[in-house]
Amino acid sequence: MWRGSIGVGIAAVALAGLSGCQHEAGPRVPSPPSSRQPDVTTHRSTNRLAQEKSPYLLQHQHNPVDWFPWGDEAFAKARAENKPVFLSIGYSTCHWCHVMERESFEDPTVARFLNAQFVSIKVDREERPDVDRIYMTFVQAMTGSGGWPLNVFLLPDRRPFYGGTYFPPRTRPGRPGFLDLLEQLAQVWKDRKGDVSRSAAEIHERLAAHVAREPLTGLALGPALLANAATRLKSEYDPQHGGFGGAPKFPRPSHPAFLLRWSQRAGDEEARRMVLYTCERMAAGGMCDQLGGGFARYSVDDAWLVPHFEKMLYDNAQLVQLYLDAYLVSRDPRHAATVHDIVRYVLRDLTHPDGGFFSAEDADSEGKEGRFYCWTRTELQTLLAPAEFGVATRYFGVTEQGNFLDHSDPDPLPGQNVLHVAQPALAPDEAALLESARVKMLAARAQRVRPHLDDKVLASWNGLMLGALARAAVVLDEPAYLAAARRNLAFLQQKLWDAPSRTLYHRWRDGARDSVQLLEAYAFLLSGTLDLYSATLEPDHLDFARQLAEAMIARFYDPAHGGFWQAPTDSPDLILQVKEDYDGAEPSGNSVAVLGLLKLADITGRLEFREPAEQTLRLFAARLNDLPQAVPHLLSGLDYWVGETRRVVIAAGEDREGIDPLVRAAHQTYAPNQVVMGTTGSVEAFASGLPAAHGHATAYVCTGNTCLPPLQDAEALARILAKPD
């Protein structure tokens, strides 16, 4: 990064004393209450955001700030009035976004100054991750950190000149107050606008150089890169609590998922133990909702105890996949139980009646973070029978003083306990008491005010959950999960897919879709559709995956240098084109595209799918070598490419109800470099010629052009697939 050199510009020099607050999150301050629906009963005045569909933008519709949505109208106004642009990016379940809204955007004095001196724009980073990535890259380069809320100041031509994350309302040592910052920026704009413009031009050039990528010659893609990556990823392991890195601790499932792949490839028992212990500790911690299922976004400590309570669809989808892997590797029923808990949560609380999956639930309710999830000892004593109370308080670690106190809340709730598995050992009679206590506690919690639900449906995150559900169905033999996956895909095809133009849109909410196209939407849905195909062998799903892949390559692939652009190259509202590769809380579109295309190439036999994946790996070869911690999902794609794929080809016999036994058997072994495919539809020529012997479903285990003798017994197939290569 070029953080040091940016100081030559006026943006950093004139404002150097103001750049104190550049942290991922602000202080732990309670946010105002939020509800599941926008307020339609109030007669308060509204701004332009009232016409938007984004729950995040609708949360700001009553601010006195004269907000614009992202678009040409705002920038035309900035040009006409010769004003800088204030761009504020966040999302509806972001605790710190709520804090800054309450402290600054609802303040009439701040709003008057913003309205007079700036043109203000609100962006939902979940709807427009392409916009967010450009300006997040700028802030990270300028300050060394990033996060949300993301606040950036732009020229009227969209180029940034200053930015940060959370700004408190008043200046304190090392941290500028937001109004003070606005006043000084406005003065700099008035007195030294030419310098600001020149600095922004220089910043833009440096930013463009930073995001530009060209493949390096001479760096071989091979097992040595995987070995180097495994060593580095393992070095971040926390042997006490599991996980990788310190507080705040994120699950980041693609990191342990790659190490599990590596453990199988290299026989690395240490890597395997790291992943399984991490899964065990995460599921026992307060980050996992011990009553309702599902995981919060991260833990503020290193022991997985106290979460930041918001729940995101993308986290839970990836964790389903990770815990399925852990279950197949270990056969520990606790990991399967965790999968069931996550899926129950998603189907109960994050599912549209027609099958789409909602995006997230907030951390806050009734103005308090975690209020919905925490318990006092007195509450439990009142609710439970004495024997239930004794077992539950011991098992969940409930104490009189509690384990969670919001120290920055002027009136914190006392004695709050985040439930976690403190003493897992139970006698047989105690297990029944704990279960009856759970039922009562969950029923009582259901009567509380729920956190805000972000009910937009994103093609990208739905693709992740679609694949997780399909795979959970076939691994755990749950036909209801498979039915939910099919309904989800049908929902996405109806609401967000335009078949004649082969266009996938990104967001649907309240009867309307957006006009945005993103790589991650195509790549994530391609991945999920392939998982659904492998669970059903229905050729329509394979045909849809093929159409998605063809459209993705046509719209986003760079044939000159490899890699996929985050947005179409003709996007008129972006100042830069970015090839994103960072696998953070979500995997990057490039990483998911690589693995999906490689699998699709093996199923269909089409080189036009394999070649873009290989060129993308070559484009990011230096990243894979120099900073593998940044690209763990891409490493999984490299692992798949380096190895030889095993194909389990199943020729269907008579129609069966539910999940085909041979298909289920094919998914009972941890085999990340295996594809399960049928013999009809767009499959490769060799597979299409394999018959169903005597009219009965028949499985062929093939590597290259060699297949084992055909099998019709599911148990025999499972035994063969479980044998080490």
- Interval 502-516 mean pLDDT: 96
The reported pLDDT for the residue numbered 725 is: 63
pLDDT of 505 over the 80 cut: yes
Measured distance CA(570)–CA(548) in Å, rounded: 19
Confidence at 579, pLDDT banded by 50, 70, 90? very high
Asked if residue 238 is part of any domain, the answer here is: no
| pLDDT tens, residue by residue, 266-292 | 999 999 999 999 999 999 999 999 999
| pLDDT tens, residue by residue, 317-370 | 999 999 999 999 999 999 999 999 999 999 999 999 999 999 999 988 888 889
The reported pLDDT for the residue numbered 36 is: 36
**Choice between 44 and 639, residue whose per-residue pLDDT is larger:** 639
pLDDT of 316 over the 80 cut: yes
CATH code at position 145: 3.40.30.10
Asked if residue 633 is part of any domain, the answer here is: no
Bridge partners of 67?
Answer: 120
Alpha helices in 417-518 (DSSP H): 428-445, 459-476, 479-495
Asked if residue 69 is part of any domain, the answer here is: yes
Q: Phi/psi class of residue 214: alpha, beta or left (left: φ > 0; alpha: ψ in -120 to 50)?
A: beta
| pLDDT tens, residue by residue, 22-39 | 333 332 223 333 333 334
Confidence at 510, pLDDT banded by 50, 70, 90? very high
Domain that holds residue 685: 648-722
- Domain edge (last residue) among 447, 476, 508: 447
Measured distance CA(594)–CA(52) in Å, rounded: 34
- Domain edge (last residue) among 158, 183, 211: 211
Asked if residue 316 is part of any domain, the answer here is: no
Provide the domain count of the chain: 3
Q: DSSP letters of 229-298?
A: HHHHHHHTB-TTT-SBS-SSB---THHHHHHHHHHHHHT-HHHHHHHHHHHHHHHHSTTB-TTT--B-SE
Say if CB 464 and CB 317 are below 8 A apart: yes
Confidence at 695, pLDDT banded by 50, 70, 90? confident
**Could you tell me the end-to-end alpha-carbon distance of the chain, in angstroms, rounded to an integer?**
43
Q: Average pLDDT, whole number, for the chain?
A: 91
| pLDDT tens, residue by residue, 598-613 | 999 999 999 999 999 9
Say if CB 323 and CB 339 are below 8 A apart: yes
With vertex at residue 525, the alpha carbon angle to CA 530 and CA 515, rounded to the nearest 5 degrees, is 155
pLDDT of 657 over the 90 cut: no
- Interval 422-437 mean pLDDT: 93
Measured distance CA(670)–CA(272) in Å, rounded: 12
Q: Which two tokens stand for residue 691?
A: 């018959």
With H, G, I as helix, E, B as strand and everything else as coil, classify residue 368. Answer: strand
**Choice between 694 and 658, residue whose per-residue pLDDT is larger:** 694
Cα dihedral sign, 688-694-695-699: negative
The reported pLDDT for the residue numbered 223 is: 95
| pLDDT tens, residue by residue, 240-275 | 999 999 999 999 999 999 999 999 999 999 999 999
Say if CB 299 and CB 285 are below 8 A apart: yes
pLDDT of 10 over the 60 cut: no
In Å, the largest CA–CA distance within the chain is 86
Measured distance CA(548)–CA(357) in Å, rounded: 20
- Interval 650-678 mean pLDDT: 89
The reported pLDDT for the residue numbered 25 is: 34
The reported pLDDT for the residue numbered 408 is: 60
Q: DSSP letters of 530-594?
A: HHHHHHH--HHHHHHHHHHHHHHHHHHB-TTT-SB-SS-TT-TT-SS-------SSS--HHHHHH
Say if CB 376 and CB 415 are below 8 A apart: yes
Asked if residue 225 is part of any domain, the answer here is: no
Total residues belonging to the chain = 725
Residue with tokens 């919905």: 372
Bridge partners of 221?
Answer: none
Spatial neighbors of 282 by CB under 8 A, at least 6 apart, are: 242, 243, 251, 288, 295, 304
Amino acid symbol at 545 = A
DSSP-assigned letter for residue 139? H
Measured distance CA(99)–CA(165) in Å, rounded: 12
Check: pTM over 0.75? Answer yes or no: yes
The reported pLDDT for the residue numbered 7 is: 34
Asked if residue 553 is part of any domain, the answer here is: no
Query: What is the percent of the chain where pLDDT is above 90?
Result: 83
How many CB atoms are closer than 10 A to CB 569?
A: 10
Measured distance CA(550)–CA(541) in Å, rounded: 14
pLDDT of 440 over the 50 cut: yes
- Domain edge (last residue) among 396, 425, 447: 447
The reported pLDDT for the residue numbered 15 is: 43
Say if CB 673 and CB 294 are below 8 A apart: no
- Interval 621-628 mean pLDDT: 95
Q: Among candidates 275, 277, 322, 271, which has minimal Cα distance to 295? A: 322
The reported pLDDT for the residue numbered 656 is: 60
Spatial neighbors of 498 by CB under 8 A, at least 6 apart, are: 504, 505
β-strands 364-365, 360-361: how paired?
unpaired
Asked if residue 664 is part of any domain, the answer here is: yes
Asked if residue 38 is part of any domain, the answer here is: yes
Strands (E), 13-138: 67-69, 85-90, 119-124
With H, G, I as helix, E, B as strand and everything else as coil, classify residue 361. Answer: strand
| pLDDT tens, residue by residue, 30-68 | 333 333 333 434 457 899 999 999 999 999 999 999 999
The reported pLDDT for the residue numbered 428 is: 87
Ranges 300-304, 427-431, 634-638: which has the least confidence: 427-431
Spatial neighbors of 223 by CB under 8 A, at least 6 apart, are: 265, 642
**Choice between 572 and 502, residue whose per-residue pLDDT is larger:** 502
The reported pLDDT for the residue numbered 308 is: 87
Spatial neighbors of 539 by CB under 8 A, at least 6 apart, are: 678, 680, 681, 682, 683
With H, G, I as helix, E, B as strand and everything else as coil, classify residue 148. Answer: coil
